[in-house]
Chain A
């Protein structure tokens, strides 16, 4: 069965460190998204990609970067982790033809000390 996975599921890091969160999907979807979820804010879009070599900034992109070298993966990098980036991060994918839903990964809980 097709799926979307994230790793690690939990991560503790220190302020200033570079951190990369992995996202891998086997749906063969062109569209991939990264969100962060914080209490009271719902999900906020960080970055998204509509295909290989395409990346776009979302609502809260400062301090984050992504790259899309193949269809399946969209890793999210925190260049220099800050305590304000402590959050739960969700990766999602959707069909470029306008399919009716995003498929979400299980989430990564990141704590920056």
Chain B
């Protein structure tokens, strides 16, 4: 079963506008972490933001914020004031912690294009 769902294969946003990238997850573990990574055309994976399952407040990192709705199992990434350099693939990922350690699961990604 798909543990991370990203329903938007591609998104467009006008420069300087805000954009929300959707992510829903599925887990029965009470302790988990949610991540967003950016992959520009150069190919490297860049960590953006992290939300722990017990965190009371939504995570923020500069222009990135994570809209965490635990009951709905969603962890949407909000990018404010989009820049041309934000054009990239964005991956949502989940870290599960079990008796054996950690496991990471990634979604299929959303390609964001920022228009001038």
Partner of B102, one of A31, A103, A106: A31
Chain A interface SS verdict (over half): strand
The interface of chain B, by Cβ under 8 A from chain A, is 4, 33, 35, 37, 43-45, 47, 50, 52, 91, 93, 97, 100-109
- 0/1 interface trace, chain A 43-63, chain B, CB 8 Å (1 if under): 111001010000010100000
Chain B interface SS verdict (over half): strand
Among B4, B50, B52, B106, the most chain A Cβ lie within 10 Å of the Cβ of B106
Inter-chain contact A100/B33, CB cutoff 8 Å: yes
| Chain A residues touching B, range | 20 to 34
Inter-chain contact A96/B101, CB cutoff 8 Å: yes
- Complex interface: chain A residues within 8 A of B107 (CB): 42
Inter-chain contact B50/A56, CB cutoff 8 Å: no
Inter-chain contact B45/A90, CB cutoff 8 Å: yes
Look across to chain B and name the residue whose beta carbon is closest to the beta carbon of A107. B43
- 0/1 interface trace, chain A 68-104, chain B, CB 8 Å (1 if under): 0000000000000000000010101010101011111
A84→B108 CA distance, assembly (Å) = 19
Residue pairs across A and B with Cβ atoms less than 8 A apart, 15 shown, are A31-B101, A42-B106, A42-B107, A42-B108, A43-B93, A43-B106, A45-B103, A45-B105, A94-B102, A96-B101, A96-B102, A98-B102, A103-B47, A104-B45, A107-B43
